[in-house]
């Protein structure tokens, strides 16, 4: 069943309004769910959202980060502390970024030693290459991080950075072939010295970008792509992902109709989210919505898992404006129920009506993170 999108006719708007009144779920276009005062607020990129009770956040485990330092590099993954994967999490701030869960001193020391070994292998490789290519090989430089410790090096303008941030490790890798180091050094220093620890629920009032456990202070206009996934502690059947990315001009190679909210919702449920064996739309049409005051669309679906467990999913997408005077980002929010994760802990999963009310309230809470004028 294809997700249906309502054409903008007066008759349909009237019918949709009547449908909103007649159904318990309501429509975000007609009203907003009030945000309970006891919900926790956290930040993602330059956005913030609120969620009920305590939450867990997905990040890299020590084992996942260690894979990046091996001679044969393997991709790690974002996951919750118990190992449950969060496949849609990701962070980029020009560079590809990873943050670990809190580590013991022994774990952090071991990972930094592995990062040093990777640096040594890179240095030896570049040295051998220079012997055969003379002065055409890019320059290798070990970068001393005297102010905070850690491991950093560059090859030409491409760099790698691994530093402790609180009890976590923060890792950045970026490739800049053909660029000069002088043009990217400021970006490197912003990551190396502008990254600070933050607890879940700590929402800074200064310009910058929020990652899991980390805040990067900046001037407020740097490119970013941050997708953070949460899991409710009292309802481990519910995961929440918010993605915030800077809106940029559409490439000439990209068809505009392929990146609309409607197209992104269709692609997510039909192709990206591959866990269920069957998906059916509960809402007859996609609902109009505003995420952080950016126009978008929202969907509510029923998911049938391979074991015939019935679950629910809510997905909202808003397309930003790269030409707007103020930051108007591309946003995606999903709230998905996977009942088995609650049942495994003896917890009753959220019902359908509870779930959609929760999802809509979370969507209402998404907004630009306020910045203090001081």
The DSSP result for 226-282, as a single string, is EEEEEEESS-TTEEEEEEEE---PPPTTS-GGGSSHHHHHHHIIIII--S-SEEEES
Question: Which residues make Cβ contacts (< 8 Å) with residue 10, sequence separation at least 6?
Answer: none
Contact 349, 343 (CB under 8 A): yes
Question: What pLDDT tens digit does each residue of the chain (374 aa) get?
Answer: 455 544 443 333 333 333 343 333 444 443 456 889 899 999 999 999 999 999 999 999 999 999 999 988 788 899 999 999 998 999 998 788 999 999 999 999 999 999 999 999 999 988 887 766 555 667 899 999 977 889 999 999 999 999 999 999 999 998 888 889 999 998 899 999 999 999 999 999 999 999 999 999 988 878 899 999 999 999 999 999 999 999 888 776 777 677 899 999 999 998 888 777 899 999 999 999 999 999 999 999 999 999 999 999 999 999 999 888 888 999 999 999 999 999 999 999 999 999 999 999 999 999 999 998 65
- Continuous H helices in the chain: 10-22, 62-67, 105-133, 181-194, 261-267, 339-343, 352-365
Residue pointed to by tokens 């290798």: 140
Other Cβ atoms within 10 Å of 199 Cβ, number? 8
Domain ranges in the chain? Answer: 1-54+233-369, 59-228
pLDDT of residue 11: 37
Report the SS3 class of residue 333: strand
Instruction: Quote the pTM value.
Output: 0.89
Contact 148, 129 (CB under 8 A): no
Report the SS3 class of residue 117: helix
Contact 214, 198 (CB under 8 A): yes
Measured between alpha carbons, how far is 305 from 24 in angstroms, rounded to an integer?
25
Handedness of CA 23, 25, 29, 35 (dihedral sign): positive
Q: What are phi and psi of 200, to 5 degrees?
A: -60, 130
pLDDT of residue 259: 85
Q: Top-level CATH class of 1-54+233-369?
A: alpha beta
Residue 142's alpha-carbon distances to 131, 174, 221, 373, in angstroms, are 19, 15, 29, 38
């Amino acid at each position: 069943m294809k997700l249906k999108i309502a054409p903008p006719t007066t008759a349909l708007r009237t019918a949709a309004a009547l449908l909103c009144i007649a159904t318990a779920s309501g429509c975000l276009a007609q009203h907003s769910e009030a945000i309970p005062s006891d919900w926790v607020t956290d930040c993602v990129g330059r956005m913030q959202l609120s969620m009920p009770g305590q939450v867990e956040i997905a990040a890299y485990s020590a084992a996942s980060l260690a894979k990046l330092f091996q001679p044969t590099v393997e991709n790690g993954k974002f996951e919750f502390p118990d190992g449950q994967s969060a496949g849609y999490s990701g962070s980029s701030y020009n560079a590809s970024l990873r943050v670990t869960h809190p580590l013991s001193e022994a774990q952090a020391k071991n990972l930094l030693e592995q990062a040093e070994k990777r640096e040594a292998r890179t240095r030896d490789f570049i040295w051998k290459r220079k012997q055969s290519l003379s002065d055409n090989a890019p320059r290798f430089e070990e970068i001393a991080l005297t102010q905070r410790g850690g491991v950093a090096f560059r090859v030409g303008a491409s760099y790698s950075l691994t530093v402790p941030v609180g009890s976590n490790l923060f890792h950045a890798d970026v490739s800049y072939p053909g660029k000069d180091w002088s043009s990217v050094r400021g970006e490197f220093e912003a990551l190396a010295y502008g990254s600070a620890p933050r607890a879940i629920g700590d929402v800074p009032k200064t310009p910058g970008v929020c990652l899991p456990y980390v805040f990067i202070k900046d001037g407020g206009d740097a490119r970013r792509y941050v997708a953070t996934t949460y899991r409710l502690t009292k309802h481990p059947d519910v995961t929440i992902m918010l993605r915030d990315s800077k809106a940029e001009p559409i490439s000439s190679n990209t068809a505009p109709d392929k990146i609309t909210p409607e197209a992104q919702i269709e692609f997510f449920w039909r192709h990206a989210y591959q866990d269920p064996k069957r998906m059916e739309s509960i809402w007859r049409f996609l609902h109009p919505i505003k995420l952080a005051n950016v126009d978008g669309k929202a969907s509510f679906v029923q998911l049938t898992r391979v074991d015939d467990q019935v679950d629910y999913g809510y997905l909202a997408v808003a397309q930003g404006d790269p030409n707007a005077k103020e930051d108007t980002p591309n946003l995606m929010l999903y709230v998905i129920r996977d009942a088995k994760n609650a049942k495994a802990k003896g917890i009753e999963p959220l019902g359908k009506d509870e779930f959609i009310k929760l999802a809509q309230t979370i969507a209402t809470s998404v907004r630009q993170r306020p910045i203090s004028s001081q």
